[in-house]
Structure 1
C-alpha cells in the first residue's frame, strides 16, 4: 500500500510545496519565486535548490515492512543517501557512491521475526545533496498508518553548502537536522551550496512561520573577494530584510559567521577569514534583536573534523550542532 496515494502532503515535513508529475512527487523547500531567483543566477544553484535537504516523510504504522521508491536525479555531490528513524533510533539503510540515476527502490525496514507487531514512528530523511522524486512509500496492505503532526517549535536555517549539509554522508547528520532533532523542532532547511548574503533570496510569502532563524553565510562571500565594507553592507541589508519579515519579540535570529577552514589565514580582499567573520558579526549585531555567533568557536580547528578543509565531516557537523545548540537553548528558554 502506497501511503502517498491519498493526501500525500500530510506526510511531508520541511516541504514548502509538493509537485506531482508523471506519477512522482517532487517535494520542494523553496517558494516558486525563490526557485526562479536561483534559476536566474546559475545552473549549479538551480540544481541545489531542488535537493531535499532537511525534508522528511513521517508516519506511524504497524506494518512489518517499509519500502521507498522513486527517481534519483542529478545533484551537488556524487553520492546518494537516505536515512531512517524508527522510534527515534537513526539508521542509514541506503548509501550509494557513485550516486544512481533513474528509478530506484529500497526496502528500508523489515521487522525482525522475533519482534511483536506494534505501532512504530517512522521518519524517512530524504537525500540532501541529490534530487529525488518519490513514487511511493510502501507499507503492508491493511496496515494502520497515521501522519505525524508538525512539531510546535519551528526552526528555519538559512545558509550555504554547510547548511545544506554538503559532505555529511547522511542527511540526518547535517547540523540543521541534528538541531531540529535535539530541540524537537519542525525544520525548514533553506541552505544552498554556493550561496551568499543576498537579500533577494528572501521571500515574504514563505509559508513557514519560525520561532528561531539561523543564518550562516560568508565563506563564499570571502572566496569571491568581497572586502569587509561590502560584506557588511550585504549583511545589514539581508538581516534587516529578514528582521522586517518577523516581529522581534516573536522570532529569534542568530547569525553565525564562517567556521574555521584550512585556508583561513590567507589574505584576501576582506582580510583573513577570521577578520571577515568579525565584520559579519559586527554588522549583524547592529540590527535590533539579532544574536551574532563566532563560527570559529563551533568546530575544532582540526583537519580531522573536515572532508576537504572547508566542509565538516559527520563528526564536524555534530560538533557544529552541539556548539550552536547551547546558544539556541539559551534563546528559547
Structure 2
C-alpha cells in the first residue's frame, strides 16, 4: 500500500530551460567589457597594478535582471575557483544571491551554494512559487571571477530580460569593504543594499586590499561615464599615500567631470586598533590626513566635494566586524544607516537630471 500511495502521488521533476546571462540584463557594469562578467577591461588601461587587475575581473557588485513566471528558479555557473577567504562565506565569495520584488520592494528569495572543490555548480535557488510574473535580481559572486552563468526556469515558463532596476550611476571606489567583505552573501554588500534601498545605481569598484589611489587607477576612474563618485579608499592607503595621492585623484575626476559630486569617506575604525596601538594610530593618521587634504581641496575652490566622517560607521559596542576590520552584516547595516541619508541628500539634489 505504501508503494502504491507513493507512486500515485509522485510528481515528475520538471524539465529545466536555461538562458545564458548574456541574453538577460546585466546590472552594475562600470563600463562595457569583452568578458561580460569582468567589471573593468584591464587591457584598456595602461599601467594598472597587478593586484588591481586581479580584483577588477572579479564579479563583485554585478547582477542579472530578469522576469519569469516560473514556479522555480535554477542556476548553473562556473567561477575561476578561488579559495574562499576564512572571513567570508562560500556563498558570498563564489555563490549567487537572488532577490525578487514583492509589494514594490526587493526581497531576499534564495542563494545558490557553490560546490567545495569544484569550479562549476548547478542548483535550485527557489521553488514552490506561484506562476505570476516576478521581477528578479540575481547577484553574482563577490570575490571570484565568474566565467559562466545561466538562469534556469521550468520548461514552458517564460523568462526574459528585465528592466534596468536603478537610475543614476554612482561609482564607489574602495577597499575590500566596498567589494563586499565580509557580508554573508553578495546582495548584502553595502553598494548592493544602497542600490535596492535608494533606487540609485551604486557601481561596485571595490578592490580588496588594493585601493591605493595610484595615478593609473585615478586616471581610469576619471574616465568612466558616471554621475557621481564615492571614494572609500582610505582603508587601503597608508597615511603617506593619503597625503600624497588624494588631491590627484579628486582633481583628476574633477577635470573630467566638472559638476559631478565627489564624496570622500574616512576609513572605518578598525576594532583591533583599540588594543593594537600601532594599528589604532595608523587609522587615526589615515583619517586625520584625509581630512587635511579635503580642507586643502575646498580651499582651492573644488566644488561639489563632500566628506563623510567614520566615527559611527560600525557602532560603538564593538560587535560590528568579523575580524576587527571587515564589517559583518550588522556592521554593514550600521554603516548604511550613517551614510545613506547623507548620500541621498547629496545625490538627490546634486546630480543633474
**Alignment TM-score > 0.5, same fold:** yes
The answer as to whether partners of 1:72 and 1:104 remain within 8 angstroms in 2 is no
Deviation digits for residues 41-78 of structure 1 (CA, Å, limit 9, x no counterpart): 34xx4432222111001111112222111213233734
2:202 pairs with one of 182, 187, 193: 187
Name the SS of the counterpart of 2:37 in structure 1.
Answer: strand
2:127 counterpart residue number: 110
Deviation digits for residues 50-109 of structure 1 (CA, Å, limit 9, x no counterpart): 22111001111112222111213233734233211011111342345x854322112112
Q: How many residues in Structure 1 have an aligned counterpart in Structure 2?
A: 312
Q: Name the CA distance, whole Å, in 2 between partners of 1:194 and 1:255.
A: 18
The answer as to whether partners of 1:35 and 1:49 remain within 8 angstroms in 2 is no
1:253 counterpart residue number: 262
The answer as to whether partners of 2:171 and 2:203 remain within 8 angstroms in 1 is yes
Shift of 1:34: 6.5
Shift of 1:312: 0.5
State how 1:227-242 maps to structure 2 within 5 Å. 227=240, 230-242=241-253
1:147 pairs with one of 161, 181, 206: 161
Shift of 1:241: 1.2
Deviation digits for residues 132-184 of structure 1 (CA, Å, limit 9, x no counterpart): 22241122334333322333222211001111011112111111111111111
1:279 matched to 2:294? The reply is no
User: Structure 2 stretches of 5 or more lacking a match?
Assistant: 1-16
Name the SS of the counterpart of 2:125 in structure 1.
Answer: strand
2:77 counterpart residue number: 70
Residues 33 and 12 of structure 1, relative CA distance in 2, 3 Å threshold: same
Q: Name the CA distance, whole Å, in 1 between partners of 2:221 and 2:269.
A: 34
The answer as to whether partners of 1:84 and 1:91 remain within 8 angstroms in 2 is yes
Residues 208 and 240 of structure 1, relative CA distance in 2, 3 Å threshold: closer
Q: Name the CA distance, whole Å, in 1 between partners of 2:341 and 2:231.
A: 16
2:18 counterpart residue number: 2
Q: Name the CA distance, whole Å, in 2 between partners of 1:81 and 1:306.
A: 21
Name the SS of the counterpart of 1:258 in structure 2.
Answer: coil
Q: Name the CA distance, whole Å, in 1 between partners of 2:279 and 2:313.
A: 25
Residues 18 and 4 of structure 1, relative CA distance in 2, 3 Å threshold: farther
Q: TM-score, normalised by structure 1?
A: 0.83
Q: Which has the higher strand share?
A: 1
Residues 285 and 125 of structure 1, relative CA distance in 2, 3 Å threshold: farther
The answer as to whether partners of 2:45 and 2:220 remain within 8 angstroms in 1 is no
1:23 counterpart residue number: none
Residues 58 and 107 of structure 1, relative CA distance in 2, 3 Å threshold: same
Q: 4+ runs of 1 displaced by more than 6 Å?
A: none
Structure with greater Cα Rg: 2
Shift of 1:237: 0.8
1:318 counterpart residue number: 333
Range moving further from structure 2, 187-196 or 127-136: 127-136
Q: Name the CA distance, whole Å, in 2 between partners of 1:281 and 1:178.
A: 27
| CA RMSD, 1 decimal | 2.7
Q: Name the CA distance, whole Å, in 2 between partners of 1:146 and 1:9.
A: 8
User: Structure 1 stretches of 5 or more lacking a match?
Assistant: 21-25
State how 1:290-329 maps to structure 2 within 5 Å. 290-329=305-344
Residues 284 and 291 of structure 1, relative CA distance in 2, 3 Å threshold: same
